[in-house]
Amino acid sequence: MDTFTITADGKEIEGRPGQTVLQVCQDANVSIPTLCHHPALKPYGGCRLCVVEIEGMRGLPAACTTPATAGMVVHTHTDLLHRARRTILELLLANGDHDCLVCNANGSCELQTLVYEHEIEHRPEGEPFTRRPIDDSNAMIRRDLNKCVLCSRCVRACMDHQVNGVIDVAARGSESVIATFNDMPLGDSECVFCGECVQVCPTGALLEKRAQFASQPWALRRVRTTCTYCGVGCQLELNVRGNSVVKVTSSHELPGPNGGSLCVKGRFASDFIGHPDRLTHPLIRQNGKLREATWDEALGHIASKLSEIRSEHGPDSIAFFSSARATNEENYLLNKLARAVVGTNNIDHCARL
């Protein structure tokens, strides 16, 4: 593929046809701040934090929507740009509730990172903003529009990735807000609760309820695995603290068929792992009642009954039913037990439930 060269902050870097200035700079590790841009979404140019100076071009164009061309000379960190970005950040802080001390996104908030980088010490004084009620209508997603910066990532992810179009930017000017149809609560809308909006949100405006106050972001360990709920093989990351799964995330950078997207089961249906009602001991039914048993007793009982049935009625009289809530390794072993040991192909799986 043909490449061309541009100059960014006095350094020559290579670009490819079709790339924007932001993409070329990011590939060369030239940092340009942004809030509305996301690598998995189309360029938007809404936050204006990625403005740059380009020699021969008027004004301060947005790097995320400006096509890179051969010979372009770009300045990404000048005094003028620093003042412009600082002003934008101050306006965002003034028109919202951005109290990091009581925000669950503290430590993973992109707005917080940019405010720190631009050395803003205080929340600027401005006109009181209209506080909106927190939307707790859904059991999985918490919406706090007071922390929203109108980057529109959630809107574009909902439409472009999931093709649901449940949310959009409503009203105009300072009254603009991310809303569902007829501004109904999210729990009453057509939302399928895939969590794509939560995945791309750069602030604490959208949070997974289960993860709220469960752990600080820096205390989480991410473990990559494959979702077992169906046969697609979506790649996901278990966010673990100690021996508990706090939440499930994914990333567009992970190889796999899902490209960072997950369905409602893959993202939210993992609370069974540490659920208090989960069985922790085998149970054997005797005289119509279940009693606790040891693992050796339970496995011996199962093996004895299966052997009797197989001897009397043949291997195809036995069927196995596996579980999407078991690990891939456990499901594989059950498959081998059914086919290689018992000798039957009668095995099914609950992933479609």
Query: Do 259 and 316 lie in a common domain?
Result: no
On whether residue 90 sits in a domain, the answer given is no
In a domain, 105, yes or no: no
Per-residue pLDDT of 25-63, as tens digits, reads 999 999 999 999 999 999 999 999 999 999 999 999 999
Q: Which of the four pLDDT bands, split at 50, 70 and 90, describes residue 9?
A: very high
What is the distance between the alpha carbons of residues 312 and 344, in angstroms, rounded to a whole number? 15
Question: Amino acid identity of 241?
Answer: R
Helix/strand number for the chain, H first, E second: 8, 15
Same domain, 165 and 207: yes
Q: Is 80 exceeded by the pLDDT of residue 77?
A: yes
Q: CATH code at 229?
A: 3.30.70.20
pLDDT at residue number 20: 97
On whether residue 157 sits in a domain, the answer given is yes
140 lies in the same domain as 217: yes
The whole-number pLDDT of residue 115 equals 95
Phi-psi domain of 69 (left: phi exceeds 0; alpha: psi -120 through 50; beta: other): beta
Note whether 194 and 267 are within 8 A (CB): yes
Give the pLDDT band of residue 229 (cuts 50, 70, 90). confident
Per-residue CA distances from 146 to 90, 205, 208, 211 (Å): 15, 7, 16, 19
Read off the pLDDT of residues 159-194 as tens digits, 9 standing for 90 and up: 998 999 999 999 988 889 999 999 999 999 999 999
Asked if the structure places residue 164 within a domain, the reply is yes
Residue 183 lies in a domain: yes
Average pLDDT score over the chain: 92
Residue 21 structural domain = 4-77
Split into its structural domains, the chain has a count of: 3
* pTM, to two decimals: 0.84
